[in-house]
Structures are given as C-alpha cells and as structure tokens.
Structure 1
Amino acid sequence: MLTRVQERHPLLGASVDRSAPEPLYRRAEGSIGVETIAMGTPWQAVVATEQTRPIAPEPGPLLRAVLIPGDPGSFVVLTFAHQITDGIGGLRVLLELVALLDGDERGTTRGVPRAQEDLLAGLDVQGHTGAAASAVMPVEDERMTAPGALAPFSGLLPHVSALALDRELTTRLVGRCRAEGMSVHAALCAAASRVFHRRGRDFVRILSPVDLRRAAGLSEDVANRFAGARTASEASDADDFWALAQRHHQALGRQRAPHVLQAGSAALAESPPATPEDAEAMMAAVTAADIQITNLGAAEAYGPIHASLKALWGPAQITQLRGEHVLGVVTSGGRLRMTELTHDPVAVLLPEMAAVLARACAAPYQAPNLA
C-alpha cells in the first residue's frame, strides 16, 4: 500500500543528487523500506530511535516506515526527510495509507510539485497590501533575533513525551477560542509561554511553522509548503492568559499575511546561503526559540478519517538546536494530542500546559467592551 501512495506523490519516490553544482531531485529506483519490530514496543521509543537514524539523500526514497504489531491494533511510524515534505504532507500520506488499507481507493495522482519559492513569487498579494499598509509592524526586539547554537549530531536518543486532552477539554478549548476570536494555536502558545515563565524564564520565544497551503493558498502537495513565524512574551504577560493568547494570535496574523510571506521568500531567494556552514548559521538564526510548536490542526481537514485509525500523534522531530523543545500537535477523533521531543526535558511541560488550558477554559468568559 505504501507503493500505491508513493505512486501518487512524486517526491515520495525521489532521491537527491548532490554531485551537481546544485542539488537535484532524481527518481529513486527502490521502494519505501518497511521494518517490523517486536510487538508491544512503545511507539515513543521508535520515534526517539528514528531521530537518530539519518536518511541518506541517495539512493532514496527519502522516507521509511516502522510497523509495531499489536492486538487489537498496530502502530505505524512514518519518518520523512525534510527535503521532501513537511508535517501536513506527512499527515496526508498517513491518511491515504490508512484509507488504502481500509479498501478506500479514492486519491489523486499529482504531478511534480513546483518550488515553493516560485509559487510565492507568483502570488497576487494586491488585495492584501492596502490593509497591510495601515498595520504598523512592531519594532523588532533584539532578543527575538538572538541566534541559537547548533549541537553536533551525537546520536543520543531524544526524550519523547506525549499527552492527549480528553474530548471534553478539547471541545471546550475549541469553543472558547472561537468565542475569544483566536486560534487554538495561539492558546497553545500562551500555555507553553506560561509554563516556561513559571519555570523562571523572563522572556520566551515560540517558533510556529506556518502552513502556506492555507495562509497563501498554495497547492495541496506532499512537499514543503511552510514558513516560520516567531512570537514572544515577557514574564509580566503571563498573568492574563487570554490577553497573552490574543497577543500571540495578532503577532502570528501579521506574519501570516501573504505579502509578508512573499517578501520573506524573495529575500531568501536573493541571498541564499553559499555554503553548508552558511546554511547552518541561517537556520540557527531563524529557528532559535524556547519551543517550536507545529500544530497540524484537525486531521479531518486533510482527508477522511477511517474507523480503523484510533489515534494520531506527531509530528515529531528534533533539529539539533541546544535547549530546544519541539512540540507537535494534531487533533483527531475529538482529542488534541501533543508530542514533545527534546534533549533537555522539562517533566511538567505537557501536564502543566494541559492544566493551564483547563483552567483558562473554566474561567468565565467576558465579552470585549466595544463601546
């Protein structure tokens, strides 16, 4: 069934040729590797191990699968090289795989995806520039741009923790965020900020990958279609949860504007890194944060959810930045699930985030005074 999914999405059957002056995608001859391991192995242990196994650019393909047999159900862990897709693309692949296993043949074979930079360059942003001109971007705090430090790849297993909100809390969270006029993602940013502030951090930066399919109307390819947005908070901001969440929401909204995304892509295209060392330095500068939160949202938005799919976790990754916490979030079956990877675990992070969200949703809602 993985071969069937691979046939629909060209990058799932690609390798990267680095012998040319510029790397090129080429067709891989092999099929997607599938490994079966011992029944009952915790999926968290498999995810941790997968982060220590680099995917070679050649001969491809640039993904692999691990099957953990179980009774009554099994786990499947898919690992993708970031050269071929992002979290949303990976979710689409998983949903298509489950559908095929359930006998659902629906699916579209897509052509080779265009480069993200080309798609953004051709984006018509005229309808957004008027509103953008009247919105003054805040002055950049130098603490926001302080670069992170990359740690050499050591092969050490990252710590993996996971927590699922129950259906009741998930429903209350979604409803309250709608009433407050903000995204669930902004509430997650506020909850993480509050936990870190309580642990003694005066200034907290959060990196949020932005899905360009939704933000800029790009095609629904299994490919990289994302940009990064950073928001931050002071310890003094942590007292009023919904006000803090609203600040995150507004800051993300400014950075998600199509003209801003287009300008950022153009700037990178004009001054690309010239060496691997330059690329590493750039990544350390633009991705540095106390925590990265990748929220895929409701899985139902990306394809039918079959009854055989009991739970979704992820996306899960580690990026070798010192002190990083990488949190993946996805909602399916009415439950929001969080998966965190780090080499510097804060044992209370996910439980305290859940507790913060529960208390915030239980607090009385006060409609804004528009008079």
Structure 2
Amino acid sequence: MIANRKLGRVEQAMETLNRCAKTWNVITISRIKGPLSEEVVRQALDLIQHRHPRLNSRIVGSLNSLRFQTEGTAKISLRVVNKLDNWQWQEVVHEELNEEIDSSKNLLRAVLVHILSEDHVSYLITTVHHGVSDALSCVRLHSEILEYCHKIVSGEVMNPVASLDALPPIEELLPKWTKSFSGRISGVFLFLRLGFQKIWNRPETLGFEKYAPLAKRTCGMVHRQLDPELTQQLVNRCRQENTTVQSALCAALLFTVARKIAKGKRKDVRVSCLSYFDLRKRLEPAITDEHMGVLASSILGFHTIHTNTSFWELARDVKQHLEAVTKHNDIFKMILMSKDFIKFFLAVPNEVSATVSVSNIGKVNIPNVYGAFELEEISYLGSNSLYAGVFATNASTFQGKMLLNFVFSLPSISQDTMETLVNNVVSCIIEVCDFNVVFTPIHK
C-alpha cells in the first residue's frame, strides 16, 4: 500500500528530535514464556510491517520538506541476542536507548533476547520512531506480534494481511475550532502563558550535576516493579483519597525531588509536573487502538509544596489541575504548539523543561496468553537525552503488577543519584499506602 504524504507538525517535531537530539523513540519490552524463535518473530514482523502503513514507510527530505515515502523502505531489522541472566535485558534496552533510528531506511527495529538461565524465556524489545507511535500504539503492537507468532507456530494458513488505512496528521483529527485562526492564536497564547507561569512560579528542579552539550548526552534507565499487592493497595488508597494513580505517581516524584532540594530544611518548594494524555477518544473521528500514531498530548502544571503539605493533598491538587486543563482544551493547544516547544528546547539545551514527568498508560488491556506463548510482563519508555535535569517515569500495569521505567539524561543526573531517587519514590509509595504510617512532609 502506497501511503506517501508530507509529515504533519507533530511528526515533523519528532523527526527533528530524531535528527538533532540523538534519540527520541518509544521502546517497548515484553517478557515472554514459550518457544519463541528468530524465524517465527521474523515472519511476524513482516506481517505487521505490511499491516501498518507507517511501519512500511521511511522519512525522506530535508527538515523543511519532510515526507513519508513507501518506496525503498527496508524490512524491519531483527537482532538476536543471548544473555545468561534475566536482568541483562536491561543492557540491551540501554543500547537501544542510545542508538538512533535511521529514518531514511525504516521506522522500527526489534531485538529478541534469549535468557539462557531460564527455560524458554525471551524478551522482545522494539524501538519505534516517535513520529509514528506512542506508548499505547507500541503496547498494542506487541500483542499483535504475539498473535501472529501464535498463528505461525500453529500452522494456521493466513491470507495476505489487510493493510490498515493510513492516518492523516493528528492536527487534521483535532476539533474543528483548532483549525481556525482563533484556534491557532489560542495555541500561541498557551505557549506565552506557560512561559509566563514558569517565570512567575520559578519551579525548582534537579538541575545539572554535570553539564554536557547535547551531542555528548546519553539516556539512562532504572527499572522497578511494584508487586500486585502493593499495586492494588495504591489503587485502593487513591480511590479512598478521591484522586487517581496518575496524580499519586506525580506526587510521589514531586515529593521525592522536593525532599532532595529542601535537604532537611523547613522551606516551601515550587515544582512543575509534565503529564501525558491519550487523545484517541477525543479526536474527530475517534481513533481505535489498532491504529499507530502520535495520538497523545501533554500539559505542564505548577505546584507549591509547603512544609505542611500532605501527600494526598498534593495528589488531589495535581488531579484538579489535570481536570481543569482538559476542560479548557489545553491538551489540543499543546499539539498545535509542539513543534515550537521542541525548537525552543533545542535552541536552549541548558533549560530544564520540568521538575518531573509522568507518563502512565494504566492497566494494559491485552491478552496474556497467545497459544504456546505467555506474555508475563510488558512495559515501555521513551528515549531521552535532550531534556536534562528532569525526573521522569513511564508506568504501565499488567497482570496486576505496576512496572516503572525511569529515564534520565546523563550526565545531568548520575546513575547513582537516579538509583537513590527511584528507591525513594518506591519507599514513598509504600509509606503512603500504609494506613498505620503518617507520611512525613518534605522537611524529613
């Protein structure tokens, strides 16, 4: 299927990051139990490349004239790696985080990691260009790959896989008012308003332990899991406190950073939080989960943590802000201005964009059994070396267990510092889920 067209503004922004910020991709990791072979995965990748128009595309042209082009697209590459121990999949993810995609060839690559110390355990790791995918797209894609793997090993004769219709740029799917002159002006006003709020609130951040120019930055990762019991405790406590898991995760990261900034002193700490939203059901027409694309937006919120602010008070404050911005359509305005925001941070790489960033896709609603294959875990993360000094996490919940992938730009935050911060976040979550423990504010 030929699906050539110009890139939309968001897609252009993502390709600009891909070319100028080393990596800006979505990496998805599945732990799979079952006899998964290179041959079977190879066939499944060929099928999904045929099914999804953007995976059968490449990006050509200069930054001011970018186009998707089907002709000349290379097959999705598949690398096979053998690792002895279970934790070593993280080594492969670290490599993928720091390996850019050659978008002139294709927009996805895959790695199959066999764990030699366990019987029939593998990790499937995909790296997808952020201009054609978001986290929900990639999680759904892994489910589709495993379904094809099941059909292949079962000997099911598959007719040629039908290609999905190619989506237009997300800007064309936004509400009609965004396409008017006043809609474009409202986007500019949002850009100016956030700039003013940042100057007025002066949010504190982790800053730079060590500054490096963009070309010398790399992306690091710390992985953690909350067992099903703790995950359920968090969900239950959020309901009782009239807030959401997203807001609680934001509060946990914000409190952790605020405690580090306060260093035990009694002081108020001003912070900012970047949260992400799925737009699929808000578009016109609504987009189903089977389609891939950049179908998400984000918004920045500003908060002050006082010396007596409780954890759940902050979580409710975050929730109220997120509800307010969705009612005022700021998430659509962010899409309109995304290219301008990225140009700004590329031009000023020493600017810290936010105190914390939280992307949470919530409960992953895909099957866990695909014939001979069992999906035991699935998580994701966005590679990032541009946004230095930001404490960021990517969360998903599957089979009752929450998986958290924290990403950061090295050397602005060191690996040791990040490990400590992540451990403190987990401790914070445990603390606030225990009804018998009184949460200690930031002057701990």
For the aligned pair, the TM-score class normalised by the smaller chain equals 0.7 to 0.9
Aligned CA distance change for structure 1 residues 118 and 246 (closer, same or farther; 3 Å): same
Q: State the match for 1:130 in structure 2.
A: none
Displacement of 1:4 after TM fit?
1.4
Structure 2 CA distance for aligned equivalents of residues 24 and 354 of structure 1: 43
1:356 Cα offset (Å): 1.4
Deviation at 1:166, TM superposition (A): 0.9
Going from structure 1 to structure 2, the CA distance change for 1:58 and 1:358 (only over 3 Å counts) comes to: same
- What residue number does 2:76 align with? 32
Question: 1:79 & 1:162 partners in 2: Cα distance?
Answer: 17
**1:236 CA drift (Å):** 1.1
For 2:396 and 2:108, how far apart are their aligned partners in 1?
A: 21
Which residue, 357, 368, 388 being the options, matches 1:305? 368
Residue 68 of structure 1 corresponds to which residue in structure 2?
A: 113
Contact 1:317 1:326 in 2 (8 A): no
Structure 1 letter corresponding to 2:197:
E
Deviations 1:190-239 (A, max 9, x none): 01111111112533222112211145574132100111111233331674
CA, structure 1 residues 177+109, in 2 after alignment: closer, same or farther (shift >3 Å)? farther
Q: What is the aligned partner in structure 2 of residue 128 from structure 1?
A: none
1:203 aligns with 2:270: yes
Q: 2:174 aligns with which of 115, 120, 133?
A: 120
Equivalent residue number for residue 301 of structure 2: 231
- 1:340 is aligned to 2:412: no
What is the CA distance between 1:22 and its match in structure 2? 1.9
Aligned to 1:352: 424
1:14 corresponds in structure 2 to: 57
| Residue 112 of structure 1: how far off its partner (Å) | 0.4
1:112-151 superposed matches below 5 A: 112-122=166-176, 140-142=197-199, 151=213
Deviation per CA, 1:61-109: give whole Å up to 9, x if none: x111111112321011111111111111111111211222233999984
Gaps of 5+ in 1: 125-136, 366-371
For the structure 1 residues 123 and 65, does the alpha-carbon distance in structure 2 shift closer, same or farther, using more than 3 Å as the test?
A: farther
Query: Aligned to 2:376, what secondary structure does the other structure show?
Result: coil
In structure 1, C-alpha distance between the alignment counterparts of 2:349 and 2:134, rounded to whole Å = 16
Contact 1:316–1:326 at 8 Å: present in 2 too? no
Change (3 A) 1:150 1:232: farther
Matched residue, 1:244? 314
Instruction: Give secondary structure in 2 for the equivalent of 1:83.
Output: coil
- Name the CA distance, whole Å, in 2 between partners of 1:299 and 1:284: 36
Match of 1:308, as an amino acid? Answer: E
Change in Cα spacing, 1:145 to 1:183, as seen in structure 2 (3 Å) is: same
Residues 200 and 21 (structure 1), Cα distance of their counterparts in 2 relative to 1, 3 Å cut:
closer
**Helix, strand or coil for the counterpart of 1:322?**
coil
From the superposition, tell whether residues 40 and 208 of structure 1 become closer, same or farther in structure 2 (CA, over 3 Å).
farther
The Cα shift of 1:33 comes to 0.4
Query: What CA distance in whole angstroms lies between the structure 1 residues aligned with 2:287 and 2:307?
Result: 38
Greater strand percent: which structure?
A: 2
1:273 Cα deviation from its structure 2 partner: 4.8
User: Aligned residues, how many?
Assistant: 345
> C-alpha distance in 1, partners of 2:384/2:307?
28
Q: Per the alignment, do residues 238 and 330 of structure 1 end up closer, same or farther by CA in structure 2, a change over 3 Å counting? A: farther
Specify the SS of the correspondent of 1:360: helix
Pair 1:212–1:91, CA change in 2 (3 A): same
- Stretch of structure 1 that moved more, 334-343 or 93-102: 93-102
In the alignment, the residues of structure 2 paired with residue 90 and residue 118 of structure 1 have an alpha-carbon distance, to the nearest angstrom, of 22
What TM-score comes out, normalization by structure 2 length?
0.69
Please list the CA deviations of residues 6-57 of structure 1 after superposition, one character each: whole Å capped at 9, or x if unmatched. Answer: 2222111111111485211111532110001122361111111112211122
Deviation at 1:145, TM superposition (A): 8.0
Equivalence for 1:219: 287
**Structure 1 residue 337, shift from structure 2 partner:** 0.8
> What is the CA deviation profile of residues 131-169 of structure 1, one whole-angstrom value per residue up to 9, with x for unaligned ones?
xxxxxx99935256889999413264x332111111111
1:295 is displaced (CA, Å) by 0.8
Q: Secondary structure at the match of 1:29?
A: coil
My pick for the range that moved more, 255-264 or 237-246, is 255-264
The percentage of aligned residue pairs carrying the same residue is 21
Q: Report the counterpart of residue 92 of structure 2 in structure 1.
A: 46
Higher relative contact order (CA 8 A, sep 6+): 2
TM-score, scaled relative to structure 1: 0.81
1:328: Cα distance to partner?
1.1
Cα distance in 1 for residues equivalent to 2:66 and 2:83: 40
Question: 1:290: Cα distance to partner?
Answer: 2.2
Q: Which letter does structure 1 place at the counterpart of 2:83? A: M
Matches within 5 A, 1:103-182: 103=151, 109-122=163-176, 140-142=197-199, 151-154=213-216, 156=218, 158-182=219-243
Confirm or deny: 8 A CA contact 1:215 1:256 kept in the other structure: no
Residue 154 of structure 1 aligns with an amino acid whose one-letter code is: K
Secondary structure of 2:230's counterpart equals helix
> Residue 186 of structure 1 aligns to which amino acid in structure 2?
S
Q: Distance in 1 between matches of 2:425 and 2:177?
A: 37
Q: Tell me the CA shift for residue 310 of structure 1.
A: 0.9
Q: CA deviation at 1:322?
A: 2.1
Find the counterpart in structure 1 of residue 346 from structure 2. 280
Aligned partner of residue 348 in structure 1, secondary structure: helix
2:4 matched residue in structure 1: none
